[in-house]
Amino acid sequence: MLGGDNPFSNIHGDVLNATPEDDQSKRNLVEELKNRARAAVGRKNWPEAEALYSKGLEVLPDAILYSNRSLVRLSLDKKDEALADADSAIENDSNYAKGYYRRGQALHKLGRRGEALHAFEAGEAKAPEDKSFKTMVAKLAQEVREKGPNVTAPANTPPPPPSKKKAATASTASPTQTTSKAPVASAPEREVVEGEEELGSEVVRGYRKTADGRTTTYFNNELTEEAKALIGDIAPKQVAGEVKMNVAQGASSWNQAGTWEERDMTGWANGRLPELLVGLELPLPGGAGAVRTTELKKLEGDSQITLSRGKRRFLFEYSFELHWELTVTETGAKAKGHLHFPDMSSDCNGEYEVSVQVKPSAPPEAHALIDRHVRPVGGGGAGEEEVLLRPAVAARLAQFVAELQAK
């Protein structure tokens, strides 16, 4: 269990040391860990994010957590551990395309370009519409052609010689010195200094004589007329008007310095996503039929807005199923299925992984319409007659992100 010597026990001890008993408690704990880990990633505090993701994997291991920790460990230059996490993500869910992306990143950092290329190609096969895979496949293919599949290190490379500065420091190390305790000299007879007065056998300290012969303390400050004229009127004065605090944009009124602040937007987002995604209806060209979204299921995740050093960050991570229904006008037959979004998160830059699922009960006459209007990702140049479900859903998700950033 994490905790004890963990350096983050003070700030995250409530979650790092938690031991949930039932499944619901485990899910709640993992959501809180992911929430805090994303905030740490936003601050680029990689060790903190690694500790939080590790606790989440201890409680409920899944492919997304392994993938996220792989990213964090790669940022910490823990290349072998990042590769192990990517492999665990793939082992946990072989259809999770981002696991192959993380594997490719780790292998590339390790100099194993040929294997990295195979990993990106495997991910592209899982998510052919994801442009990031196409980019990395092209990049790695060129590197393999120009530099070979692996980075080769020269054999028997001698260690670098010690620097002159270190050698000089070692050669001039100071010898152990022995010190003897010096005898304590007897205190000299005390002298009366300025500002003290002998009164019998006692010395009265901190007193002085005034001009008129009075004995008073040094703390009694009597201003001359010249000093009063120089200082002027220094009495407190009332400030007219309300003083406005210089508050960073997007921060709370109390946060004048623009320091760390976090706003939980999960409640708003969990209500807004169904409003945007459900009820979307697209009539198909030529009156062939219509496709519409009917229900949002298995919505899991959270979102937040953070403020650090005056900069706002908008973080979210969701997974869900958006169910759709296609109606064929000629026969009235209906086909049903859903779009599966395993990782709609702020680090995807709007390019979310999605898979199209069709129920086996779909009638034969609907298959052509599904292939033409539901499965394509868009951008195929079909012109004004192009009516595609996935780009329409992507536009609604872009609207969700824009509304979150306007909060």
Res 230: pLDDT: 72
CATH number of the domain encompassing residue 72: 1.25.40.10
Res 131: pLDDT: 87
Other residues' Cβ atoms within 10 Å of the Cβ of residue 65: 26
Nearest to 404 by CA among 264, 201, 217, 215: 264
Distance CA 281, CA 325 (A): 10
**Which single residue is written with the structure tokens 């052919």?**
128
With respect to residue 103, please indicate whether it lies within any of the assigned structural domains.
yes
Q: Are 381 and 391 in contact (CB under 8 A)?
A: no
Q: How many domains does the chain have?
A: 2
With respect to residue 379, please indicate whether it lies within any of the assigned structural domains.
no
Res 121: pLDDT: 95
| pTM assigned to the model | 0.44
Q: Are 358 and 337 in contact (CB under 8 A)?
A: yes
Q: Are 252 and 261 in contact (CB under 8 A)?
A: yes
Q: Are 104 and 136 in contact (CB under 8 A)?
A: yes
Q: Are 280 and 287 in contact (CB under 8 A)?
A: no
Distance CA 128, CA 17 (A): 41
With respect to residue 223, please indicate whether it lies within any of the assigned structural domains.
no
Distance CA 71, CA 85 (A): 9
With respect to residue 41, please indicate whether it lies within any of the assigned structural domains.
yes
Distance CA 41, CA 74 (A): 12
Res 73: pLDDT: 96
Res 227: pLDDT: 72
Nearest to 72 by CA among 54, 57, 95: 54
Res 151: pLDDT: 74
Q: Report the half-sphere exposure of 287 (CA within 13 A, side-chain side).
A: 3
Distance CA 8, CA 51 (A): 8
Res 13: pLDDT: 84
Q: Which of 147, 175, 191 is the last residue of a domain?
A: 147
Res 78: pLDDT: 96
Structure tokens at 109: 């950092």
Same domain assignment for residues 271 and 401:
yes
Q: Which of 90, 116, 147 is the last residue of a domain?
A: 147
Q: 74: domain range?
A: 13-147
Local confidence pLDDT in tens for the 407 residues of the chain: 444 556 776 788 888 988 988 888 898 899 889 989 998 888 889 999 999 999 999 999 999 999 999 999 999 999 999 999 999 999 999 999 999 999 999 999 999 999 999 999 999 999 888 888 999 999 999 999 998 988 764 444 444 454 444 444 444 444 444 444 444 444 444 444 344 444 344 444 556 666 676 766 666 667 777 777 777 777 677 766 555 555 455 554 444 444 556 888 999 999 999 999 999 999 999 899 999 999 999 999 999 988 776 688 889 999 999 999 999 999 999 999 999 999 999 888 888 999 999 999 999 999 999 999 998 876 544 444 567 899 999 999 999 999 999 88
CATH number of the domain encompassing residue 398: 3.15.10.20
Same domain assignment for residues 266 and 395:
yes
With respect to residue 324, please indicate whether it lies within any of the assigned structural domains.
yes
Res 376: pLDDT: 87
Q: Are 367 and 141 in contact (CB under 8 A)?
A: no
With respect to residue 2, please indicate whether it lies within any of the assigned structural domains.
no
Res 104: pLDDT: 95
Q: For 43-152, where are the alpha helices, taking DSSP H only? A: 46-59, 63-75, 79-92, 97-109, 113-126, 131-147
At residue 260, what are phi and psi to the nearest 5 degrees?
A: -60, 130
Distance CA 332, CA 317 (A): 38
Burial zone of 307 (CB within 10 Å; 0-12 exposed, 13-18 middle, 19+ buried): buried
Q: Are 52 and 36 in contact (CB under 8 A)?
A: yes
**Which single residue is written with the structure tokens 């997007």?**
250
Other residues' Cβ atoms within 10 Å of the Cβ of residue 288: 18
Res 107: pLDDT: 96
Q: Which of 97, 124, 147 is the last residue of a domain?
A: 147
Distance CA 56, CA 62 (A): 9
With respect to residue 27, please indicate whether it lies within any of the assigned structural domains.
yes
With respect to residue 338, please indicate whether it lies within any of the assigned structural domains.
yes
